[in-house]
């Protein structure tokens, strides 16, 4: 039997901005702009549904990651990142999700905002963000506008 509806959204979706930060929906996952843009193009890759352990996701959710990571990497490449870090921390927000952080050896500019990556080349500084209150909204709009294979 084929799935026709995505699993329900969870509280972690709302915690990271809900529909305000939504870039794309997939069957098992959502991609959101990370409200605090620790680096230019920082995203949240969030599993739908109640799972709080990566191993609890169905095989179809794991398989779908291949497509989604390809879409993410193709989309954020427009910003000129050197690498991408996928961090699955789940310390505060319990549902399965990754913080996706494009990485830059030099400050990157987008839409009049300068984004630094003070942790480069080491671990990213998740508490860092540019002093621009609408940075996430601008990144969200840019990425959502031409997201590869857009569904949602």
Q: Which domains does the chain have, with CATH numbers?
A: 11-145 (3.30.428.10)
**Averaged pLDDT for residues 61-83:** 97
Helix (H, G, I), strand (E, B) or coil at 5: coil
Cβ atoms within 10 Å of 101's Cβ, excluding its own: 27
Q: Residue 88's pLDDT is what?
A: 96
Which is more confident, 145 or 151? Answer: 145
Residues 79-137 have pLDDT tens digits of 999 999 999 998 888 999 999 999 999 999 999 999 999 999 999 999 999 999 899 99
H or E element: which one contains 47?
A: strand 43-47
Whether the pLDDT of residue 1 is over 80: the answer is no
Chain-centroid distance, C-alpha 35: 10
Q: Is 111 left (phi over 0), alpha (psi -120 to 50) or beta?
A: left
Residues 100/105/107/111 CA torsion (nearest 10 deg): -50
Q: Residue 5's pLDDT is what?
A: 65
Q: Report d(CA 70, CA 147) in Å as an integer.
A: 11
Residues 7-35 have pLDDT tens digits of 899 999 999 999 999 999 999 999 999 99
Q: Report d(CA 51, CA 29) in Å as an integer.
A: 12
Q: Residue 27's pLDDT is what?
A: 95
């Amino acid at each position: 039997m084929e799935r026709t509806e995505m699993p329900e959204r969870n509280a972690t979706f709302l915690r990271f901005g809900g529909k305000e930060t939504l870039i794309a929906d997939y069957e098992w996952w959502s991609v959101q702009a990370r409200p605090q843009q620790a680096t230019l193009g920082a995203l949240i890759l969030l599993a739908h549904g109640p799972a709080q352990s990566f191993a609890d996701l169905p095989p179809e959710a794991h398989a779908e990651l291949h497509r989604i990571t390809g879409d993410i990497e193709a989309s954020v490449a427009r910003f000129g990142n050197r690498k991408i870090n996928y961090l699955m921390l789940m310390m505060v927000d319990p549902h399965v999700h990754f913080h996706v952080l494009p990485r830059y050896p030099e400050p990157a500019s987008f839409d009049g905002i300068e984004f630094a990556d003070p942790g480069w080349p080491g671990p990213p500084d998740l508490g860092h963000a540019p002093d621009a209150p609408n940075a996430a909204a601008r990144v969200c709009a840019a990425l959502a506008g031409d997201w590869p294979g857009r569904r949602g």
